[in-house]
Amino acid sequence: EKAGYKHFMLKEIHEQSQAIIDTFRSAVDLNRGEIRLDDLNLDGKGVAGIRKICLIACGTSYHACMVGKYMIENMCRIPVEVDLGSEFRYRGPLLGQDTLLVVISQSGETADTRAALQEGLEKGAVCRAIVNVVGSSLVRMAGGVIYTHAGPEIGVASTKAFTAQLVALYLFGLYFAVASGRLDRQELSAYIQELIELPRKVSDILARSEELSGLARRFMNCRDFLYLGRGILYPIALEGALKLKEISYIHAEGYAAGEMKHGPIALIDEQMPVVVLMQKGPLFEKMLSNVQEVKARGGQVIALVEGKADERIGPPENRFLIPESSPWLAPVLFTVPLQLLAYQIAVLRGTDVDQPRNLAKSVTVE
């Protein structure tokens, strides 16, 4: 059942190109150059009535919401709020008929996410769900759904469900942008093309898993890790840190790189690996200055770099190159090596990768 893989987690990491294809296949109509989200149950008129979007989830799915904010606000020019399922109902959220509330969940059963959706229903918001498990509670409660077709996820640490959620959010952003007149056909077809090229890029990264094994061996005994990202990769820094702590039990923190000076820099010494996520474009030079600050304090930099290697980052054995893509899809590509690194470190440490201590696959109590 593990199809020759040592763990479900590794199998599921490797299933990601297929999960991405399966998630966009039914939504992308190549002949007509359209995005169709039939189960979402939100037509042009429905979209026109929306003034604000709330994205809500827990854990890894919450990180998908954070990425979704960057995508949707930029594609659709509509305000997007992001909340943790466990916090949402206690902050007296301002909701009404012009609010679109979207909950995101692999299992569709997470108690706090359900409670957030219930809050939305009671306050009259338009409620939808992005879910992996067909027929789950959230699907039954919401007025419509986008399914992530990741297939069953057995490993407790979420991997393929997460990248499929990012793809579902991309599809949703494009759909909403077209429906609200923010995107023309030509722009849409360029975005679709980027999506179609994504699975092959994921496979390319998977085929290079071995490149990470030296890093895993060098850093497997560290006590703490720091992960830094900016912009749309900030949530991916959080996700990378979460994966490592869940399965290897190494303490790891994700930070927005610009916050480094405001506290975490105090932790940096020779013992501290700092994983930096370097996206090409306007934030690259800013990340580079973070790299220099870390090095100046003797910290060890592990750099994931989009596009070409840059000599200023450090020696090749500390770098992993990420294929170029659209800025909205880069989060998918940066996630994969972070999953692999966490996995390899956990295996070297001999932990129970698929069933980490104290964790449950589906958290159905608050």
**Does 107 interact with ligand F6R (rule: CB under 6 A)?**
yes
**Does 351 interact with ligand F6R (rule: CB under 6 A)?**
no
343 in Cβ contact with 247 (< 8 Å): yes
Beta bridge partners of 102: 55, 128
Q: Which is nearer to ligand F6R, 86 or 279 (CB)?
A: 86
Residues in 203-262 at the binding interface with ligand F6R, rule: CB under 6 A: 242, 246
Q: Which is nearer to ligand F6R, 150 or 275 (CB)?
A: 150
- 261-267 long-range CB contacts below 8 Å, 24 or more apart? 261/293, 264/226, 265/293, 265/297, 267/224, 267/226
**Does 60 interact with ligand F6R (rule: CB under 6 A)?**
yes
* DSSP type of residue 299: P
CB of 295 to ligand F6R, least distance (A): 31
CB of 245 to ligand F6R, least distance (A): 10
Verify whether residue 261 is a known catalytic residue: no
Where does this chain touch ligand F6R (CB under 6 A) — which range of 26-34, 102-110, 115-123, 197-205?
102-110
DSSP for 196-227, written as a single string: HHHHHHHHHHHHTGGGGHHHHHHHTT-SEEEE
Question: Of the candidates 59, 235, 240, 254, which one interacts with ligand F6R according to CB under 6 A?
Answer: 59
Q: Which is nearer to ligand F6R, 107 or 344 (CB)?
A: 107
**Does 58 interact with ligand F6R (rule: CB under 6 A)?**
yes
**Does 139 interact with ligand F6R (rule: CB under 6 A)?**
no
Q: Which is nearer to ligand F6R, 106 or 335 (CB)?
A: 106
Residue 301, SS3 per DSSP: strand
Residue 35, SS3 per DSSP: strand
**Does 335 interact with ligand F6R (rule: CB under 6 A)?**
no
**Does 99 interact with ligand F6R (rule: CB under 6 A)?**
no
**Residues near 352 by Cβ (< 8 Å), separated by ≥ 6?**
none
Where does this chain touch ligand F6R (CB under 6 A) — which range of 40-48, 54-62, 90-98, 197-205?
54-62
Element (H, E) at 280: none
**Does 113 interact with ligand F6R (rule: CB under 6 A)?**
yes
129 in Cβ contact with 139 (< 8 Å): yes
Q: Which is nearer to ligand F6R, 109 or 310 (CB)?
A: 109
Beta bridge partners of 168: none
Where does this chain touch ligand F6R (CB under 6 A) — which range of 59-67, 168-176, 218-226, 290-298?
59-67
Q: Which is nearer to ligand F6R, 104 or 178 (CB)?
A: 104
Where does this chain touch ligand F6R (CB under 6 A) — which range of 56-64, 208-216, 279-287, 326-334?
56-64
Annotated catalytic residue: which of 52, 123, 280, 361? 361
Q: How far is CA 137 from CA 62, 87, 109, 147, 149, in A?
A: 18, 20, 6, 13, 17
313 in Cβ contact with 269 (< 8 Å): no
Residue 1 exposed, middle or buried by CB count within 10 Å (0-12, 13-18, 19+): exposed
Where does this chain touch ligand F6R (CB under 6 A) — which range of 70-78, 103-111, 170-178, 203-211?
103-111
Amino acid identity at 168: A
The encoded tokens of residue 37 equal: 């989200």
- Could you count the other beta carbons within 10 Å of the beta carbon of residue 209? 17
Binding site for ligand F6R (CB under 6 A): 58-61, 105-107, 110, 113, 157-158, 242, 246, 362-363
Catalytic residues: 361
